[in-house]
Amino acid sequence: MSGNSSAVTSILDQLSALGHKKVVFCNDPDTGLKAIIAIHDTTLGPALGGTRMLSYATETEALEDVLRLSRSMTYKAAITGLNLGGGKAVIIGDSRKGKSEAMMRSFGRFIQNLNGEFITAEDVGTTTKDMEYIRMETKYVTGVPESIGGMGDPSPTTAKGVFLGIKACVKEVFGTDMLAGRSVVVQGIGNVGEQLVELLRNENVEVFISDINEERLHHIARKYKAKPVEANKVFGLDVDIYAPCALGATVNDVTIPRMKFAIIAGSANNQLADEHVHGKLLLEKNILFAPDYLINAGGLINCYSELTGFGRKRTMQLTENIYQATRNVIKLSKAENIPTILAANRIAEQRIIDIKKIKSSF
Ligand code: NAD
Protein backbone atom coordinates (compact mmCIF):
# COMPACT_ATOMS: atom_id res chain seq x y z
CA MET A 1 0.00 0.00 0.00
CA SER A 2 2.71 2.47 0.97
CA GLY A 3 4.62 1.64 -2.29
CA ASN A 4 1.53 2.40 -4.38
CA SER A 5 0.68 5.62 -2.63
CA SER A 6 4.24 6.95 -3.01
CA ALA A 7 4.15 6.05 -6.73
CA VAL A 8 0.95 8.09 -7.09
CA THR A 9 2.48 10.97 -5.15
CA SER A 10 5.50 10.96 -7.39
CA ILE A 11 3.34 11.03 -10.54
CA LEU A 12 1.29 13.90 -9.13
CA ASP A 13 4.52 15.66 -8.17
CA GLN A 14 5.73 15.32 -11.73
CA LEU A 15 2.44 16.76 -13.01
CA SER A 16 2.77 19.74 -10.68
CA ALA A 17 6.40 20.32 -11.61
CA LEU A 18 5.64 20.40 -15.33
CA GLY A 19 2.25 22.11 -14.94
CA HIS A 20 0.03 19.35 -16.33
CA LYS A 21 -3.71 19.50 -15.98
CA LYS A 22 -4.67 15.87 -16.44
CA VAL A 23 -3.27 12.45 -17.31
CA VAL A 24 -5.50 9.58 -18.40
CA PHE A 25 -4.30 5.97 -18.25
CA CYS A 26 -6.16 3.77 -20.75
CA ASN A 27 -6.33 0.00 -20.33
CA ASP A 28 -8.42 -2.30 -22.52
CA PRO A 29 -7.55 -6.00 -22.00
CA ASP A 30 -9.87 -7.04 -24.87
CA THR A 31 -7.77 -5.24 -27.51
CA GLY A 32 -4.44 -5.10 -25.64
CA LEU A 33 -4.56 -1.30 -25.55
CA LYS A 34 -2.30 0.32 -22.96
CA ALA A 35 -2.07 4.04 -23.49
CA ILE A 36 -1.47 7.31 -21.68
CA ILE A 37 -3.05 10.61 -22.67
CA ALA A 38 -1.45 13.73 -21.16
CA ILE A 39 -3.23 17.08 -21.23
CA HIS A 40 -0.80 19.82 -20.32
CA ASP A 41 -2.70 23.09 -20.69
CA THR A 42 -6.01 24.08 -22.26
CA THR A 43 -6.02 27.85 -21.67
CA LEU A 44 -5.82 28.62 -25.39
CA GLY A 45 -8.07 25.82 -26.60
CA PRO A 46 -8.42 22.03 -26.69
CA ALA A 47 -5.18 20.13 -26.19
CA LEU A 48 -3.96 18.86 -29.54
CA GLY A 49 -1.13 16.38 -29.97
CA GLY A 50 -0.16 13.27 -31.87
CA THR A 51 -0.45 9.70 -30.69
CA ARG A 52 2.90 7.93 -30.64
CA MET A 53 3.13 4.14 -30.58
CA LEU A 54 6.42 2.75 -29.29
CA SER A 55 7.77 -0.30 -27.44
CA TYR A 56 8.76 1.64 -24.34
CA ALA A 57 11.08 -0.34 -22.07
CA THR A 58 9.05 0.68 -19.00
CA GLU A 59 5.77 2.42 -18.22
CA THR A 60 7.78 5.14 -16.47
CA GLU A 61 9.64 5.84 -19.71
CA ALA A 62 6.31 6.10 -21.57
CA LEU A 63 4.92 8.47 -18.92
CA GLU A 64 8.03 10.68 -19.01
CA ASP A 65 7.85 10.86 -22.80
CA VAL A 66 4.18 11.81 -22.91
CA LEU A 67 4.59 14.44 -20.16
CA ARG A 68 7.56 16.06 -21.93
CA LEU A 69 5.98 15.98 -25.37
CA SER A 70 2.59 17.31 -24.25
CA ARG A 71 4.24 20.28 -22.56
CA SER A 72 6.12 21.12 -25.78
CA MET A 73 2.79 21.10 -27.63
CA THR A 74 1.45 23.81 -25.31
CA TYR A 75 4.46 26.02 -26.13
CA LYS A 76 4.29 25.21 -29.85
CA ALA A 77 0.63 26.21 -30.16
CA ALA A 78 1.10 29.30 -28.00
CA ILE A 79 4.08 30.73 -29.84
CA THR A 80 2.54 29.99 -33.23
CA GLY A 81 -0.56 32.01 -32.32
CA LEU A 82 -2.94 29.05 -32.55
CA ASN A 83 -5.97 28.67 -30.29
CA LEU A 84 -4.94 25.24 -29.07
CA GLY A 85 -3.65 23.77 -25.87
CA GLY A 86 -0.98 21.11 -25.49
CA GLY A 87 -1.49 17.38 -25.24
CA LYS A 88 0.01 14.13 -26.42
CA ALA A 89 -0.73 10.42 -26.22
CA VAL A 90 1.41 7.30 -26.22
CA ILE A 91 0.34 3.75 -26.93
CA ILE A 92 2.74 1.23 -25.41
CA GLY A 93 3.55 -1.51 -27.93
CA ASP A 94 5.20 -2.48 -31.17
CA SER A 95 3.59 -0.49 -33.97
CA ARG A 96 4.61 -3.10 -36.59
CA LYS A 97 2.82 -6.06 -35.03
CA GLY A 98 0.83 -4.97 -31.98
CA LYS A 99 -1.80 -2.85 -33.75
CA SER A 100 -5.37 -3.63 -34.81
CA GLU A 101 -8.53 -1.84 -35.90
CA ALA A 102 -10.15 -2.80 -32.58
CA MET A 103 -7.25 -1.35 -30.57
CA MET A 104 -7.36 1.96 -32.43
CA ARG A 105 -11.14 2.19 -32.14
CA SER A 106 -10.91 1.41 -28.43
CA PHE A 107 -8.39 4.24 -28.13
CA GLY A 108 -10.83 6.45 -30.05
CA ARG A 109 -13.46 5.74 -27.38
CA PHE A 110 -11.11 6.88 -24.63
CA ILE A 111 -10.58 10.12 -26.59
CA GLN A 112 -14.34 10.51 -27.07
CA ASN A 113 -14.81 10.21 -23.29
CA LEU A 114 -12.72 13.38 -22.90
CA ASN A 115 -15.44 15.29 -24.78
CA GLY A 116 -13.13 17.37 -26.92
CA GLU A 117 -10.61 18.31 -24.27
CA PHE A 118 -8.02 16.31 -26.26
CA ILE A 119 -7.72 16.01 -30.05
CA THR A 120 -5.19 13.68 -31.58
CA ALA A 121 -3.23 13.24 -34.81
CA GLU A 122 -0.63 10.96 -36.39
CA ASP A 123 2.83 10.63 -34.88
CA VAL A 124 5.77 8.19 -34.75
CA GLY A 125 4.35 4.65 -35.05
CA THR A 126 0.84 5.70 -36.12
CA THR A 127 -0.56 6.32 -39.61
CA THR A 128 -3.41 8.12 -41.33
CA LYS A 129 -5.14 4.70 -41.48
CA ASP A 130 -5.02 4.54 -37.66
CA MET A 131 -6.54 8.04 -37.53
CA GLU A 132 -9.32 6.78 -39.80
CA TYR A 133 -10.11 4.01 -37.26
CA ILE A 134 -10.05 6.51 -34.39
CA ARG A 135 -12.41 8.74 -36.41
CA MET A 136 -14.95 5.88 -36.43
CA GLU A 137 -15.36 6.41 -32.66
CA THR A 138 -14.74 10.12 -32.21
CA LYS A 139 -14.62 13.35 -34.19
CA TYR A 140 -11.71 14.57 -32.04
CA VAL A 141 -8.99 13.48 -34.45
CA THR A 142 -7.10 15.23 -37.28
CA GLY A 143 -4.64 14.06 -39.89
CA VAL A 144 -7.12 11.75 -41.57
CA PRO A 145 -6.51 10.98 -45.28
CA GLU A 146 -7.31 13.65 -47.87
CA SER A 147 -9.86 11.24 -49.39
CA ILE A 148 -12.07 11.62 -46.28
CA GLY A 149 -11.63 15.36 -45.87
CA GLY A 150 -8.24 15.64 -44.15
CA MET A 151 -5.25 17.80 -45.04
CA GLY A 152 -2.99 14.80 -45.76
CA ASP A 153 0.73 14.56 -45.03
CA PRO A 154 1.90 17.52 -42.89
CA SER A 155 5.60 17.04 -43.74
CA PRO A 156 5.82 19.56 -46.62
CA THR A 157 4.34 22.27 -44.34
CA THR A 158 6.74 21.29 -41.56
CA ALA A 159 9.71 21.44 -43.94
CA LYS A 160 8.63 24.87 -45.17
CA GLY A 161 8.53 26.19 -41.59
CA VAL A 162 12.00 24.76 -40.87
CA PHE A 163 13.29 26.34 -44.08
CA LEU A 164 11.92 29.75 -42.99
CA GLY A 165 13.42 29.28 -39.52
CA ILE A 166 16.80 28.64 -41.17
CA LYS A 167 16.40 31.80 -43.26
CA ALA A 168 15.60 33.89 -40.16
CA CYS A 169 18.76 32.58 -38.44
CA VAL A 170 20.92 33.13 -41.55
CA LYS A 171 19.68 36.73 -41.67
CA GLU A 172 20.83 37.19 -38.07
CA VAL A 173 24.24 35.57 -38.47
CA PHE A 174 25.20 36.56 -42.02
CA GLY A 175 23.24 39.82 -42.42
CA THR A 176 21.12 38.59 -45.35
CA ASP A 177 18.62 35.78 -45.66
CA MET A 178 19.86 34.77 -49.10
CA LEU A 179 20.87 31.14 -48.75
CA ALA A 180 22.93 30.66 -51.93
CA GLY A 181 26.48 29.67 -51.06
CA ARG A 182 25.66 28.55 -47.50
CA SER A 183 26.22 24.96 -46.38
CA VAL A 184 23.85 22.73 -44.39
CA VAL A 185 23.98 19.20 -43.01
CA VAL A 186 20.55 17.57 -42.78
CA GLN A 187 20.54 14.65 -40.32
CA GLY A 188 17.64 12.32 -41.16
CA ILE A 189 16.23 12.51 -44.65
CA GLY A 190 12.78 11.05 -44.01
CA ASN A 191 9.51 12.80 -44.82
CA VAL A 192 10.57 16.23 -43.54
CA GLY A 193 14.30 15.91 -44.25
CA GLU A 194 13.83 15.14 -47.92
CA GLN A 195 11.48 18.11 -48.44
CA LEU A 196 13.97 20.35 -46.66
CA VAL A 197 16.82 19.11 -48.86
CA GLU A 198 14.76 19.99 -51.93
CA LEU A 199 13.97 23.51 -50.68
CA LEU A 200 17.63 24.11 -49.85
CA ARG A 201 18.97 22.74 -53.13
CA ASN A 202 16.50 24.98 -55.01
CA GLU A 203 18.33 27.93 -53.39
CA ASN A 204 21.77 26.60 -54.38
CA VAL A 205 22.74 25.62 -50.87
CA GLU A 206 25.53 23.05 -50.52
CA VAL A 207 23.72 20.18 -48.76
CA PHE A 208 25.28 17.30 -46.83
CA ILE A 209 22.98 14.48 -45.69
CA SER A 210 23.14 11.67 -43.17
CA ASP A 211 20.74 8.80 -42.45
CA ILE A 212 20.97 5.34 -40.91
CA ASN A 213 19.06 4.05 -43.96
CA GLU A 214 21.96 3.67 -46.43
CA GLU A 215 19.79 2.92 -49.43
CA ARG A 216 17.69 6.03 -48.90
CA LEU A 217 20.80 8.11 -48.22
CA HIS A 218 22.27 7.31 -51.62
CA HIS A 219 18.94 7.67 -53.39
CA ILE A 220 18.36 11.18 -51.96
CA ALA A 221 22.01 12.13 -52.61
CA ARG A 222 21.61 11.29 -56.31
CA LYS A 223 18.15 12.85 -56.62
CA TYR A 224 19.16 16.28 -55.23
CA LYS A 225 22.93 16.29 -55.80
CA ALA A 226 23.51 16.27 -52.04
CA LYS A 227 26.64 14.86 -50.38
CA PRO A 228 26.24 11.80 -48.14
CA VAL A 229 28.09 11.84 -44.81
CA GLU A 230 28.73 9.01 -42.36
CA ALA A 231 26.66 9.34 -39.17
CA ASN A 232 29.69 9.75 -36.88
CA LYS A 233 31.10 12.62 -39.03
CA VAL A 234 28.03 14.89 -38.76
CA PHE A 235 29.00 16.82 -35.62
CA GLY A 236 32.57 17.61 -36.72
CA LEU A 237 31.55 18.92 -40.16
CA ASP A 238 32.67 22.42 -41.09
CA VAL A 239 29.32 23.70 -42.39
CA ASP A 240 27.20 26.74 -41.54
CA ILE A 241 24.03 24.97 -40.40
CA TYR A 242 23.13 21.72 -38.68
CA ALA A 243 19.51 20.65 -39.35
CA PRO A 244 18.50 17.76 -37.04
CA CYS A 245 15.55 16.03 -38.71
CA ALA A 246 15.72 12.57 -37.13
CA LEU A 247 15.87 12.30 -33.36
CA GLY A 248 15.69 14.44 -30.24
CA ALA A 249 18.51 15.15 -27.72
CA THR A 250 21.27 15.23 -30.35
CA VAL A 251 22.52 18.55 -28.93
CA ASN A 252 24.21 17.44 -25.74
CA ASP A 253 27.42 17.36 -23.66
CA VAL A 254 29.13 15.04 -26.14
CA THR A 255 28.16 16.73 -29.42
CA ILE A 256 28.39 20.46 -28.57
CA PRO A 257 32.19 20.47 -28.05
CA ARG A 258 32.62 19.01 -31.56
CA MET A 259 30.41 21.59 -33.28
CA LYS A 260 31.72 24.26 -35.66
CA PHE A 261 28.22 25.20 -36.86
CA ALA A 262 26.97 28.79 -36.73
CA ILE A 263 23.31 27.71 -36.60
CA ILE A 264 21.23 24.73 -35.45
CA ALA A 265 17.75 24.59 -37.02
CA GLY A 266 15.82 21.43 -37.80
CA SER A 267 12.53 19.61 -37.38
CA ALA A 268 13.30 17.05 -34.65
CA ASN A 269 11.43 17.58 -31.37
CA ASN A 270 13.36 18.32 -28.16
CA GLN A 271 16.78 18.69 -29.81
CA LEU A 272 18.45 19.99 -26.64
CA ALA A 273 19.08 17.15 -24.17
CA ASP A 274 18.52 19.75 -21.41
CA GLU A 275 17.10 23.09 -22.49
CA HIS A 276 18.72 25.06 -19.65
CA VAL A 277 22.17 23.44 -19.72
CA HIS A 278 22.57 23.08 -23.46
CA GLY A 279 20.75 26.29 -24.35
CA LYS A 280 23.36 28.11 -22.24
CA LEU A 281 26.28 26.17 -23.73
CA LEU A 282 25.17 27.10 -27.26
CA LEU A 283 24.84 30.75 -26.27
CA GLU A 284 28.38 30.71 -24.85
CA LYS A 285 29.70 29.04 -28.01
CA ASN A 286 27.87 31.60 -30.17
CA ILE A 287 25.84 28.93 -31.98
CA LEU A 288 22.39 30.25 -32.84
CA PHE A 289 19.67 27.72 -31.97
CA ALA A 290 16.26 28.00 -33.66
CA PRO A 291 13.77 26.68 -31.07
CA ASP A 292 12.57 23.35 -32.47
CA TYR A 293 8.96 23.62 -31.35
CA LEU A 294 8.65 26.97 -33.12
CA ILE A 295 10.18 26.18 -36.49
CA ASN A 296 8.65 22.68 -36.75
CA ALA A 297 5.12 23.95 -36.04
CA GLY A 298 4.03 23.47 -39.67
CA GLY A 299 2.63 20.03 -38.83
CA LEU A 300 0.49 21.47 -36.05
CA ILE A 301 -0.64 24.31 -38.32
CA ASN A 302 -1.76 21.66 -40.81
CA CYS A 303 -3.86 19.94 -38.12
CA TYR A 304 -5.30 23.26 -36.99
CA SER A 305 -6.30 24.03 -40.59
CA GLU A 306 -8.04 20.68 -40.82
CA LEU A 307 -10.00 21.42 -37.63
CA THR A 308 -10.97 24.96 -38.54
CA GLY A 309 -11.55 24.38 -42.24
CA PHE A 310 -8.80 26.79 -43.33
CA GLY A 311 -7.63 26.14 -46.86
CA ARG A 312 -4.08 25.69 -48.16
CA LYS A 313 -3.59 29.46 -48.62
CA ARG A 314 -4.27 30.27 -44.94
CA THR A 315 -2.14 27.29 -43.87
CA MET A 316 0.78 28.70 -45.86
CA GLN A 317 0.23 32.20 -44.42
CA LEU A 318 0.34 30.84 -40.86
CA THR A 319 3.47 28.87 -41.72
CA GLU A 320 5.14 31.95 -43.19
CA ASN A 321 4.72 33.68 -39.79
CA ILE A 322 7.43 31.33 -38.51
CA TYR A 323 10.07 33.58 -40.11
CA GLN A 324 9.05 36.66 -38.10
CA ALA A 325 8.38 34.65 -34.95
CA THR A 326 11.94 33.28 -35.13
CA ARG A 327 13.30 36.82 -35.60
CA ASN A 328 11.31 37.94 -32.53
CA VAL A 329 12.78 35.13 -30.43
CA ILE A 330 16.32 36.01 -31.52
CA LYS A 331 15.69 39.67 -30.70
CA LEU A 332 14.52 38.85 -27.17
CA SER A 333 17.37 36.41 -26.65
CA LYS A 334 19.90 39.10 -27.59
CA ALA A 335 18.22 41.84 -25.57
CA GLU A 336 18.14 39.71 -22.42
CA ASN A 337 21.26 37.65 -23.15
CA ILE A 338 19.33 34.43 -22.61
CA PRO A 339 19.27 31.23 -24.70
CA THR A 340 16.81 31.35 -27.60
CA ILE A 341 14.87 28.38 -26.21
CA LEU A 342 14.21 30.30 -22.99
CA ALA A 343 13.28 33.41 -24.96
CA ALA A 344 10.77 31.32 -26.94
CA ASN A 345 9.38 29.84 -23.70
CA ARG A 346 8.91 33.34 -22.32
CA ILE A 347 6.96 34.54 -25.38
CA ALA A 348 4.76 31.42 -25.33
CA GLU A 349 4.11 31.67 -21.57
CA GLN A 350 3.26 35.37 -21.84
CA ARG A 351 0.58 34.66 -24.47
CA ILE A 352 -0.99 32.04 -22.19
CA ILE A 353 -0.92 34.42 -19.20
CA ASP A 354 -2.48 37.24 -21.27
CA ILE A 355 -5.29 35.06 -22.62
CA LYS A 356 -5.95 33.54 -19.19
CA LYS A 357 -6.50 37.09 -17.85
CA ILE A 358 -9.01 37.89 -20.60
CA LYS A 359 -10.89 34.64 -20.00
CA SER A 360 -11.12 35.20 -16.25
CA SER A 361 -12.29 38.80 -16.56
CA PHE A 362 -15.46 38.04 -18.58
P1 NAD B 1 10.68 10.04 -40.66
O2 NAD B 1 10.53 8.85 -39.81
O3 NAD B 1 10.01 10.11 -41.99
O4 NAD B 1 12.24 10.32 -40.93
C5 NAD B 1 13.23 10.19 -39.97
C6 NAD B 1 14.50 9.79 -40.71
O7 NAD B 1 15.57 9.81 -39.77
C8 NAD B 1 14.45 8.40 -41.31
O9 NAD B 1 14.90 8.44 -42.65
C10 NAD B 1 15.41 7.59 -40.42
O11 NAD B 1 16.07 6.54 -41.12
C12 NAD B 1 16.37 8.66 -39.99
N13 NAD B 1 17.12 8.37 -38.77
C14 NAD B 1 16.71 7.73 -37.66
N15 NAD B 1 17.72 7.67 -36.76
C16 NAD B 1 18.77 8.32 -37.31
C17 NAD B 1 20.09 8.61 -36.88
N18 NAD B 1 20.53 8.21 -35.69
N19 NAD B 1 20.90 9.32 -37.72
C20 NAD B 1 20.46 9.71 -38.93
N21 NAD B 1 19.23 9.45 -39.39
C22 NAD B 1 18.40 8.76 -38.60
O23 NAD B 1 10.25 11.28 -39.75
P24 NAD B 1 9.79 12.72 -40.22
O25 NAD B 1 8.31 12.75 -40.33
O26 NAD B 1 10.63 13.16 -41.38
O27 NAD B 1 10.16 13.58 -38.93
C28 NAD B 1 11.51 13.89 -38.63
C29 NAD B 1 11.59 14.53 -37.26
O30 NAD B 1 10.81 15.73 -37.25
C31 NAD B 1 11.03 13.64 -36.13
O32 NAD B 1 11.79 13.90 -34.97
C33 NAD B 1 9.62 14.18 -35.94
O34 NAD B 1 9.17 13.98 -34.61
C35 NAD B 1 9.82 15.67 -36.21
N36 NAD B 1 8.62 16.34 -36.68
C37 NAD B 1 7.99 15.92 -37.80
C38 NAD B 1 6.84 16.58 -38.24
C39 NAD B 1 6.14 16.15 -39.51
O40 NAD B 1 5.31 16.91 -40.02
N41 NAD B 1 6.44 14.97 -40.05
C42 NAD B 1 6.34 17.68 -37.54
C43 NAD B 1 7.02 18.11 -36.38
C44 NAD B 1 8.16 17.42 -35.96
Domain boundaries, the chain: 5-68+86-148, 155-349
Q: Which of the residues 34, 76, 88, 167 is marked catalytic? A: 88
DSSP H or E stretch at residue 113: helix 101-113
Query: Which of 185, 234, 247 gets mutated to test ligand 1 (max ligand atoms within 8 A of its CB)?
Result: 247
Mean pLDDT throughout 135-164? 91
Mean pLDDT throughout 140-145? 89
Q: Is 331 a catalytic residue?
A: no
Q: Which residues, 6 or more positions from 213, have their beta carbon under 8 angstroms from its beta carbon? A: none
Per-residue pLDDT tens over the stretch 211-229: 999 999 999 999 999 999 9
pTM: 0.93
Q: Which residues, 6 or more positions from 174, have their beta carbon under 8 angstroms from its beta carbon? A: 182, 240, 262
Distance 10 CA to ligand 1 centre (A): 32
Query: Which of 76, 82, 191, 270 gets mutated to test ligand 1 (max ligand atoms within 8 A of its CB)?
Result: 191
**pLDDT at residue 4, as a whole number:** 54
191 marked ligand binding residue: yes
Distance 274 CA to ligand 1 centre (A): 20
**CA-closest residue to ligand 1 atom 29:** 268
pLDDT above 50: residue 88: yes
The neighbour count for residue 13, using CB atoms within 10 Å, is 11
Is 155-349 CATH 3.40.50.720?
Answer: yes
Is 5-68+86-148 CATH 1.10.10.10?
Answer: no
